Each structure stands twice: as C-alpha cells, then as structure tokens.
Structure 1
Amino acid sequence: MPAVVVPTLRDGHLTLRPIRVRDAKPLERVLLANRGWLRQWEATYPGGGSAIDTRSSIRNLLAHARAGNALPFIIEVDGRLVGQLNVSSITHGSLSSASIGYWVAEEVAGRGITPTAVALATDYCFRTLRLHRMEICIRPENTPSLRVVEKLGFRYEGFRRRFIHINGVWSDHFAFALVTEEVPHGVLRRWRDGRVPEDVAHVIAEHRAASAFPMDLPDR
C-alpha cells in the first residue's frame, strides 16, 4: 500500500496537522502536564513499562503513515499543541475502513475541540480517501469520549470484551461507527446544522450492565 499524504485540516481556531519528529519535546510536555487526566485512557503494551517515549512513538506513527495505513495528526488551537488524533488501520478495497483514536489536554476539554477534530478527520477520510466506514472504540468509563460520539452521531454497534490494553489491563470497549451513506453532506456540517439523529449512540442497557463487571475468567 502506498504512503498516504497526511493533510493539514482547519476549522476556525482549530488545526489538524501532520505530526513531526520535532514535536517530541512539546508533545512530551503536554503529556506529562496531563498525566493524571490521560493515564486512565492510555493504551499500553502488555508486559511493557509506563515511561513516555514520545520520539519513538512519533517515529512509529510516521512509519505507519509511510506504509499507507495511518494518518497521525497533532491537534492545535491558535497554534498551540493541545492533543493528538490518529486515524489507524486504514484499509482500502472491499473493506475501505479505518479507526480513530484521540486525546486532548484537560484544559481544553469540553470546548468542542475533540468533536470538531474527529469530524474533520472523518470527512477527509470519506471524501478524499474514499473510505466507507469509520470506527471509534471507547471505554465504558470514558464519559468525555462518549459525549463526542453522541454529538457527532456515531452509531453504537456493540460491546467488545477486553478489547484494548489500557493503563496496564485489558479493557472493555463500546464500538461506534459511521458509514458514508449516513453523512452525505459531511459529519461536521451535519453536527453544525443540528441534524444529528437522537439516540444513535445510545448503549443498550444489557451492555451497560455487562461493562460494570469484569469478565469471569475460568480457573487455571
């Protein structure tokens, strides 16, 4: 698969731009300043340590972009680095899909920055990359992220047990998705126009209840 061009996307004071190796130091400062806020949602490696190595992380993201399966972005507000958004697992052909992950600094949470960034990235993937489906998986406890998919109208698709290694443990996730047919005029425009359908991101009660209890594992 050829390398993908990571674009620069803008909406008002918000900019999504390609991540660069020289972002390592400023990114590390924001991550360390928000350690308590972000640690509970941070993807980790089974058996790995907890040290932050931003330079290696950036090089890994750029390698995935060169391989054609990722779009790694920095989120900026008025030119200031406030977070990251990564489009990953880009697949073309009969699947034509990708996944989105993101984080923002606590000081800018709740200001519409994350949903705007997610909408910009999704619209780019649908319109320019011609992908058909975008997915976001969220921990049941991550209320701020659940609000993002509610605002944008990502449709709830199901409960995934012990899906991603987060903060040192295998964690359950709720899965949400959009396909191009649902947003013919774009995700950002539909949200801004107040035309997001109600309750499409609603998690069914059975899955809410299941997420409140860890999976019973067999005796070994």
Structure 2
Amino acid sequence: MPIAIPTLREGDISLRPVRIRDAKLLEQELMENRGWLRKWEATSPYAPMSFDTRASIRGLLSHARSGNGLPFIIESDGELAGQLNVSSITWGSLSSATIGYWVSERFAGRGITPTVVALATDYCFFQLGLHRMEICIRPENAPSLRVVEKLGFRYEGLRRRYIHINGEWRDHFCFALVVEEVQSGVLARWHDGTVPPNAAMITPADLAASAHPLPVTKK
C-alpha cells in the first residue's frame, strides 16, 4: 500500500518529503560534500556510482508508493542539510524497517541527526504501527555511533561484510529498538535524559573482531 510521506518537526529541524525538484540542490550538496560523505556512501558491486539524482529520487518515491520506504529531506531552519530514508519496510509479522541518513559537513555536531532519527522512529512506531527499527553503522563511523548512543538504540551484533560501501563489502554494527522499549517516544526519552546509559555498548569481542575484517578468498 502507498505510504504518505509526512512532514515532521522539532524546533527549527524538520523532515519533509523529498521532491523531484530537489534534484539540483541535492546534487550540488552531495558534490560539495564528496570528501565528507564518500567513505560512508552505499555503492553497487555490479555497476559504477551514479550521480543521476533525479532518477534516484524517482526510485525513492517509487518505494514509498509501494509501501516499502519513506524518503525525507533533512532541513535546518529551512535549509537543506541532508537526507534520511526509512527503507526495507516490512509489514505483517515482522513489521520492521531500517533507517539510513547523511548530513552535510557544515551541519555536523548540531544535534540534527539524533533529532531526525528520533522523529522518524517515533513516526514509524506510533503512526505507521511498525514494531522494530534498525540502524546499521560501520565500525569506523564514530559520529553515527554517537547518534545511537544518544538515543539508546540497543546493540545487537556485528554483521560481517554486510553492505557495499565506498567500493567494498564492509562490516557493520547493528542497533535496534522495538516499540515496547520506548513507549514514551524516542525523542521524549532523549530529551528527558532517561536513555539507558549502556544500551548501545558494543561488546569487547565484537570491537576486537571489527578491527580484523574477514579475508577475501579469491577463486
């Protein structure tokens, strides 16, 4: 079923639906932040990276129409600051989704990312009726690891060579929440200072393992 993409706000930070007419501005933002974003960008092992931003937006909107995604633009005080996508939405007995995002370098460190992740998670839990939200993060991505720590996403484990990023299959740490854990809401729990202090703590064994990527066996 199609999903209506809402506009969600907290102060001067907002999530709004991505639009085809955002293509030019998004492409400019992505190009200006290549050095900042490249090492975290999802890539394809089967095709070169495409910068057809208009086609990318069309694909995201198609996922929303099929009920599988929610593509957002992140804005700070009305200025485009990045993107957040709720993807892999699964209904029925699983009722789960995954969150991915990027924020331009000049907006980093302002609390924008945890705010929009909390807004999107609360919407998926309390408006869409999803049960579980997941975020997977590369071990080297310290800013994103701080986001899940702030919001109390619970650490679930190391996924080896999980997502193709910047031209290679990369390990990821997996974090998740289920709605029963945050009945007051993710944003409210963060603002109230009641986030469990060690929920996102990565086990020493996984930290050690992540320092040694799996060797690739050549055929």
| TM-score, L = length of structure 1 | 0.98
Partner of 2:90: 91
Q: Structure 1 219/165 Cα, relative in aligned 2: closer, same or farther at 3 Å?
A: closer
SS in structure 1 opposite 2:198?
Answer: coil
Cα distance in 2, alignment partners of residues 107 and 78 from structure 1? 13
Uncovered stretches (5+) of structure 2, i.e. residues with no partner: none
1:32 aligned to 2:31? yes
Runs (4+) off by over 4 Å: none
Partner of 2:188: 189
Partner of 1:115: 114
Cα distance in 1, alignment partners of residues 218 and 81 from structure 2? 45
Q: How far apart are residue 216 of structure 1 and its match?
A: 2.2
SS in structure 1 opposite 2:148?
Answer: helix
Cα distance in 1, alignment partners of residues 216 and 45 from structure 2? 18
Deviations 1:169-189 (A, max 9, x none): 000000000000110100000
Q: Structure 1 195/55 Cα, relative in aligned 2: closer, same or farther at 3 Å?
A: same
**Amino acid in the other structure paired with 2:110:** R
Uncovered stretches (5+) of structure 1, i.e. residues with no partner: none
Cα distance in 2, alignment partners of residues 7 and 130 from structure 1? 15
Q: How does 1:125-140 map to 2 (within 5 A)?
A: 125-140=124-139
Partner of 2:54: 55
Deviations 1:33-64 (A, max 9, x none): 11000000000011322342111110110010
Cα distance in 1, alignment partners of residues 20 and 102 from structure 2? 18
SS in structure 2 opposite 1:163?
Answer: strand
Cα distance in 2, alignment partners of residues 126 and 21 from structure 1? 27
Say what the alpha-carbon RMSD is for the aligned residues.
0.8
Deviations 1:13-35 (A, max 9, x none): 01100000000000011111110
Deviations 1:118-158 (A, max 9, x none): 00000000000000000000000000000000000000001
Partner of 2:142: 143
1:19 aligned to 2:2? no
**Amino acid in the other structure paired with 1:216:** P
Partner of 2:158: 159
Cα distance in 1, alignment partners of residues 49 and 95 from structure 2? 34
Name whichever of 41-50 and 112-121 sits farther off.
41-50
| TM-score, L = length of structure 2 | 0.98
**Amino acid in the other structure paired with 2:33:** N
Q: How far apart are residue 91 of structure 1 and its match?
A: 1.1
Q: Structure 1 104/219 Cα, relative in aligned 2: closer, same or farther at 3 Å?
A: closer
**Amino acid in the other structure paired with 1:33:** E
**Amino acid in the other structure paired with 1:39:** R
Cα distance in 1, alignment partners of residues 128 and 218 from structure 2? 47
Partner of 2:79: 80
